[in-house]
Structure 1
């Protein structure tokens, strides 16, 4: 009697977990729509983090100076373009 009761409770628990996991309102994959400005702010944070990492790795001796300067220039130019677009969207 206890084995069948345990099996029944296990099946009920498994079914409840499956329903909870795949029920549309509980979907972890659902996302809200992002605006262009939201995307730009996320990209700005990524670029700043990349610049910090690049500076750290250069100071640690992982990059030759010419590679460091080229990558830093590219990241700074991309960041400047991005900040100009953010400014334009905020004041539009």
Structure 2
């Protein structure tokens, strides 16, 4: 099984997404949304889905999920999730 590693920033992003979603739409929706993000990460790590390259940083890939974009790097073990940014965020500033 391939591995998904979260950078500290990506882990904080996921926690913030959960908090915001729970406060706005409820705990059940927060669980569904963040579980969907985790499931997508597993699919990316196992090669069932593939992101597109990002010109902001060499070796980075991106994949949209809901209103967010996953930024990650592929490696021999799976993927390293770098950030989870809202689609309206300034990518260059946050990466």
Measured against the shorter chain, the TM-score band is: 0.3 to 0.5
**TM-score, length-scaled by structure 1:** 0.33
Larger helix proportion, structure 1 or 2? 1
The structure with more radius of gyration: 1
TM norm structure 2: 0.32
